[in-house]
Amino acid sequence: MSDFVEKTDVGFSQQLKDSATGLNTHGALLGFTVAEIDEAKDDSKLFDYVMDRLSENVAYSKDLTDFKNLARKGDGTVLLPAAIPQPAAFPLPLPTAVAAGIEGRFRKRAAKAKADKNYTVGIGQACRFEATHGTFNPNSGSPTLKVDLTHAGHPHIQFNKGQWQGAEIHKMVISNGGGNPPVPNPQDPSFKKLERVFGHDYIDPTELPANGATELWAYKVIHLYANEQVGEWSLVKFITVGGM
């Protein structure tokens, strides 16, 4: 019998979030106390927070390595950036501290749920306590997109990779970052291809607006499989960028 716990950290992080949501709905029926349901939420929030910080620091490590290589072996015709790359500050508030052993507690919650007389496979699936047996279909679904400004003012684009090859990122620039963003429409012809990424995140290196100016940048991504676009476009994400 296959294990019901996701093997990858990214998959496990999503499983924890889904489980906390499922227990919030079905936990009382299965005999979970409010404290036990809150424990599941706290476990999920802390693990998700750490995963986001790891992703940010992968990008920081690459930039610092590039800076070091240029500093050591540059041919003298290119100036070093004025500032040494800095790690992103940890956003506040910090998640609630939890004890070590999040996976062990997750397994115990699953065992408790499955032992309850009210447990059904449907509830187990909602709480992510059942193994998934579906065959991977690369043409199904759309990426989950997240964009923030945790990298020296440049947008940090993150998406779920899973079993896909990566994703193609498209971008639209809207002058004047003030006011409300337009209605998000992935089919807007103003979107232009930015990059193909064979990982799960990307730092947009585009030059920022002039000092004091702002622009609204919009992104959408679509998964890649066998070097082809597959599935549906993600939801559009807008972010306001400003000159440094």
Q: What residue type is assigned to position 58 of the chain?
A: V
Tokens of 225: 């499989």
pTM: 0.57
DSSP 8-state code for residue 189 = T
Neighbours of 215 (CB within 10 A): 19
Strands (E), the chain: 145-151, 154-159, 166-175, 192-197, 201-203, 214-225, 228-230, 237-242
For residues 161 and 228, give the distance between their C-alpha atoms in angstroms, rounded to a whole number.
14
Instruction: Cis check for the bond before 93: say yes or no (omega within 30 of 0).
Output: yes
Report whether 21 contacts 35 (CB < 8 A). Answer: no
Q: What is the pLDDT along the chain (244 residues), one digit of tens a residue?
A: 568 998 888 789 989 999 999 999 999 999 999 999 999 999 999 999 998 888 777 778 888 888 888 888 887 777 787 788 888 788 889 999 999 999 999 999 999 999 999 999 999 999 999 987 666 788 888 899 999 987 778 999 999 887 888 899 999 998 755 556 666 677 778 899 999 998 888 999 998 888 878 889 999 999 998 888 999 999 999 998 887 6
Closest CA to 167 of 141, 188, 190: 141
